[in-house]
């Protein structure tokens, strides 16, 4: 009850305080590319009940998206403003609405698409889906650069299922087993710190790309870097 009251308070205040930002982002998306402002997709929620998650749209609308639900690397389907929204995580702000209506919590295991939940064990589903999914959690902090990491793999789907997903499931269970309001506050604090660090790091990398340098080292980039960056363009997205 305390956690739900905290979610209601923060999501309500957040929506009011951030309303100018939400409006400006919505206008930016509409001017940047045709299509709806919000992206909605089915995810698995508490007790296995499906719900539709809300995000700001970051990809071009109505483009063919064959294949598994992943976005990796420098996906060509991501819009210009979408790259910035993803980098700063502003695309996640509409999920405050999902928190307000009770489908999500501020902190909790990130909700997955049904096709990936199908790979979970029965025990993992029992434990992880016993709580509301969250906007952020331990795995969100640990894998905040997941798309970039997968973009360096020759088989992103296999890498996600066999390398990243097991660690995410461990972190999801760790949160469920130790959850408390104090723990939630710690996760929110570390999320804010991680976002500030990542946004600054991404700006530096973007500047190096514009100058034709390697995004990590600053050395001149070669053709291999560009090929690796585009590995994800064949895959569809969870946004």
pLDDT for the residue numbered 143 = 87
Q: Is the pLDDT of residue 234 over 70?
A: no
What are the extents of the domains in the chain? 2-234
pLDDT for the residue numbered 74 = 63
Contact 148, 73 (CB under 8 A): yes
Neighbour count for residue 94 (Cβ, 10 Å): 21
The secondary structure of 95-152 as a DSSP string is: HHHHHHTTS-EEESPPPPPHHHHTTS-HHHHHHHTTS--EEE-HHHHHTTTHHHHHTT
Pair of tokens at residue 108: 């909790």
Note every long-range contact of 185-190, with CB atoms under 8 Å and residues 24 or more positions apart, other chains counting.
187/107, 187/136, 187/137, 187/138, 187/141, 188/106, 188/107, 188/136, 190/141
44-102: pLDDT as tens digits: 999 999 999 999 999 988 766 544 456 665 667 889 999 899 888 899 999 999 999 99
Q: Which of 32-46, 149-163, 186-200 has the highest mean pLDDT?
A: 32-46
pLDDT for the residue numbered 92 = 94
| Residue 21: Cβ-neighbour burial (10 angstroms; 0-12, 13-18, 19+) | exposed
* C-alpha to C-alpha distance for 151 and 232, rounded to whole angstroms: 6
Band (pLDDT 50/70/90 cuts) for residue 12 is very high
Placement of tokens 């992103």 in the chain? 156
Contact 131, 107 (CB under 8 A): no
pLDDT for the residue numbered 232 = 37
| Residue 151: Cβ-neighbour burial (10 angstroms; 0-12, 13-18, 19+) | buried
102-149: pLDDT as tens digits: 999 999 999 999 999 999 999 999 999 999 999 999 999 988 878 777
Band (pLDDT 50/70/90 cuts) for residue 215 is very low
Q: What are phi and psi of 49, to 5 degrees?
A: -80, 130
Cβ contacts of 24 within 8 Å, gap of 6 or more: none
């Amino acid at each position: 009850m305390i956690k739900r009251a905290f979610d209601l308070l923060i999501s309500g205040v957040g929506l009011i305080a951030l309303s100018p930002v939400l409006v400006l982002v919505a206008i930016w998306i509409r001017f940047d590319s045709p299509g709806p402002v919000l992206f909605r997709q089915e995810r698995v929620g508490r007790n296995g009940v499906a719900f539709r998650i809300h995000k700001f749209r970051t990809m071009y609308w109505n483009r063919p998206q064959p294949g598994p639900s992943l976005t990796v690397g420098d996906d060509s389907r991501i819009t210009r403003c979408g790259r910035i929204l993803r980098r700063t995580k502003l695309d996640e702000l509409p999920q405050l609405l999902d928190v307000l209506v009770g489908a999500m919590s501020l902190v909790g295991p990130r909700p997955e698409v049904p096709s990936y939940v199908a790979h979970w064990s029965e025990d993992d589903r029992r434990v992880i889906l016993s709580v509301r999914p969250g906007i952020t959690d331990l795995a969100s902090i640990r894998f905040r650069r997941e798309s970039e990491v997968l973009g360096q793999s020759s088989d992103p789907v296999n890498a996600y299922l066999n390398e990243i997903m097991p660690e995410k499931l461990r972190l999801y269970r760790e949160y469920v087993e130790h959850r408390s309001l104090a723990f939630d506050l710690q996760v929110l604090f570390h999320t804010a710190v991680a976002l500030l660090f990542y946004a600054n790091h991404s700006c530096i990398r973007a500047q190096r790309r514009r100058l034709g340098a390697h995004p990590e080292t600053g050395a001149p980039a070669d053709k291999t870097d560009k090929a690796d960056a585009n590995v994800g363009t064949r895959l569809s997205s969870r946004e």
